[in-house]
């Protein structure tokens, strides 16, 4: 069950959503770094060059599973570390 670790479905969804945001940031950063490797800078706005390497990298990232799907998979496999800060404050 999705809510088993927290006993609260809303808290579980919130944790998964935060992880999905982290995954998305990591993928976006990685994609930008790879695209920058192939970037060609041109002063003329009239000319747009197709860079096959950039296109292939973009297509690869488009085929990756979506961040929310990866986050749900990690959650179900108990790979996401979380802690309840309210319980920590009471102790």
% of the chain with per-residue pLDDT over 70:
82
Cα–Cα dist 48/32, whole Å? 19
Q: Who has greater pLDDT, 87 or 77? A: 77
**pLDDT (0 to 100) of residue 1:** 79
pLDDT score for 20 = 98
Which of 25, 32, 23, 12 lies closest to 67 in space, CA to CA? 23
How many CB atoms are closer than 10 A to CB 10? 9
pLDDT in tens, 22-32: 999 999 999 99
**Domain edges within the chain:** 9-80
Q: Exposed (0-12), middle (13-18) or buried (19+): which is 70, by Cβ within 10 Å?
A: middle
Q: pLDDT tens, 41-53?
A: 665 554 556 678 8
pTM of the predicted protein model: 0.79
Quote the pLDDT of residue 11: 92
Q: Residue 52: what pLDDT?
A: 82
47-68 average pLDDT score = 85
């Amino acid at each position: 069950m999705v809510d088993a670790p927290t006993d609260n479905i809303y808290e579980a969804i919130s944790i998964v959503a935060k992880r999905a945001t982290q995954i998305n940031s990591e993928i976006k950063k990685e994609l930008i770094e790879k695209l920058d490797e192939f970037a060609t800078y041109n002063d003329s706005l009239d000319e747009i060059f197709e860079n096959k390497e950039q296109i292939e990298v973009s297509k690869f990232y488009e085929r990756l599973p979506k961040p929310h799907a990866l986050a749900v998979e990690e959650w179900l496999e108990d790979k996401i570390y979380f802690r309840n800060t309210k319980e920590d404050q009471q102790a």
